Amino acid sequence: MWGERRGRTAPGGLLLCGLLLGGALAGCAEPEAGWEERSGPIVFADSKDTSVDKQITRLVEMWNRFNPDQPVSFQEQASGSDAYRAQLIAHSQRSKREEGAPCYDVMAMDVVWTAEFAEGGFLAEVSDRDLDLSEFRPESLRAARYARSEELGRARDGAGASRLWAVPWRADAGLLYYRTDLVAEPPTSFAGLREAALAVSRREPSVAGYAGQFRKAYEGLSVNAFEAMWAFEGDPVPVDARGVPHPALDAGSATAVRSLVGAVRDGWLPRSTLDYDEDASWQAFGRGEVALMRNWPYAYAQLTAPDRAEGSLDPALIGVAPLPWQSALGGWNLGVSTCTRHGRTAREFVRFLTDPARQRTLLEQAGFAPTRTSLYEDGSLWTRPHLRVLREALDSARPRPAVPNYDLLTRLVQEQVGEAMRDGRAVDARVEALADGLTTLPGLVRPG
């Protein structure tokens, strides 16, 4: 079987299970008989398809051409990950509460949402009966695993979590883009990045030094903040051998916050980047306004697209290197919702999207890194510069904290780090508030 399934409330079979998720009580229900083997129409939810030439939309259309009796309706959601996550949560909660409510049978999820959605009972567990898990990269599988609260302290497998709740679809890791005419060698440390960015601004006053993603109340800010903390050997949410997180602001993480504030104060991280998301970053880089940039691999396809509407930078001037620190592991998983009525179709659609042929298409056409190990052994796929670098970056990529109420954690980081960077004065107070918040956030502190 695909795994445990708790769906909409079925007549005569109510099973209550109080799970706290973002302050809402989610009810659970007995599954409808035969859900796993039933075929029929399903709904696939993903954020807005911004890939080059709409590659994801094309894959859904391909499925529908060959499976007219099992059509997939592609429901594009918000393009921003925070807004999209909120839509998925609201829809999943409604599907649990209301019989007959519409269901997103298959959901594309940021890898960092696995814990939250599994803890909430929104996902059917994945079984190795459906997939040969040895064919997927280990770091991608780790990001799809989670041990729910009641399982902590029990025997755990080598991946650090006992159950798999989603199928890895697209891997991702941050890369450093740089202007080859302005930066002789890509930096390999935070201090080296500072030096390179300042040197560019001194020589070319019209070119900013460095751009990341620091937009207010945005997940990209948390990603950039966590990566900076790791650069200074910090870890704000260490996890013990039993999988229990023990959040606390260590010295390295505090130094990282102060260093980001200093970057804005010193001007090598311009104030304009405090309003940037990923798209704004690559567009500024493409216009020649920024010399160094942290972004995901998709930006390379956007920057070098023959018909790109934004940017005039010669692709020959685009250098790509690993980040000067560990990248946050990014990417997307596919989960089968517990509200699905057509489990067989949902599982087969997940297999379709994650098979090597489809992952190869997404790599070649959209720059999305695969999660299948075999595609990393095909040298013909890795001839483009950014893909060779991406393979290296993925090998050392690090997952963001796997906690059920990650939304509370990321909002804390965004508020305190983001405001410290914007204000630049009350840095000690912001660092103290971050430290206090880490030790008191509900859902993060678990019994030891």
Walk along the chain (448 residues) in steps of 10 and give the mean pLDDT of each run: 42 30 37 73 94 93 97 92 89 86 94 90 85 89 81 47 86 96 97 98 95 95 98 90 80 97 96 95 94 93 74 84 96 94 95 96 87 89 81 90 86 96 93 94 57
Q: How wide is the angle at C-alpha 152 spanned by C-alphas 126 and 19, nearest 5°?
A: 70
Q: Tell me: domain 175-328+400-439, CATH 3.40.50.300, correct? A: no
- Give Cβ neighbours of residue 249 (< 8 Å, ≥ 6 apart): 236, 431, 434, 435, 438
DSSP notation for 348-387: HHHHHHHSHHHHHHHHHHH-PBP-BGGGGS-GGGG-SHHH
Residue 407 is predicted with a pLDDT of 87
How many Cα neighbours within 13 Å face the side chain of 391?
Answer: 16
Cβ proximity of 136 and 360 under 8 Å: no
Please give the pLDDT value at position 443. Answer: 62
Distance between CA atoms of residues 95 and 74, nearest Å: 18
Do 130 and 2 contact (CB within 8 A), yes or no? Answer: yes
**Considering only CA atoms, which of 108, 100, 101, 51 is closest in space to residue 75?**
108
Residue 289 carries which DSSP code?
A: -
Tally of CB atoms within 10 A around 227: 22
Intervals of CATH 3.40.190.10 along the chain = 42-171+330-398, 175-328+400-439
**DSSP-assigned letters across all residues of 91-155:** HHHHHHHSTT----SEEEEEGGGHHHHHHTT-BPPP-TTTS-GGGB-HHHHHTTB---GGGTTS-
Do 74 and 44 contact (CB within 8 A), yes or no? Answer: yes
CA atoms of 70 and 189, how far apart (whole Å): 51
What is the value of pTM for the model shown? 0.81
> Residue 47: CA atoms inside 13 Å, Cβ hemisphere, count?
16
The residue with tokens 């302050």 is 23
- CB-based contact 367:296 (threshold 8 Å): no
The one-letter code for the residue type at 37 is E
Helix (H, G, I), strand (E, B) or coil at 42: strand
Is there a contact between 437 and 443 (Cβ–Cβ < 8 Å)?
A: no
Assigned superfamily of 42-171+330-398:
Periplasmic binding protein-like II (3.40.190.10)
Q: How far apart are CA 309 and CA 295, in angstroms?
A: 19
Residue 48 structure tokens: 């807005």
Question: Could you give the C-alpha distances from 159 to 146, 232, 309, in angstroms and in order?
Answer: 10, 26, 43
pLDDT at 52: 81
pLDDT at 17: 35
What single letter denotes the amino acid at residue 157?
A: D
Can you spell out the DSSP letters for 58-101?
Answer: HHHHHHHHH-TTS-EEEEE--SSHHHHHHHHHHHHHHHHHSTT-
Model pLDDT, residue 4: 45
Amino acid at 356: P
Which pair of tokens denotes residue 57? 């939309």
Q: What is the pLDDT of residue 35?
A: 67
> How much is the pLDDT for 202?
94
Percent of residues in the chain assigned helix, strand, coil, to nearest 5: 45, 15, 40
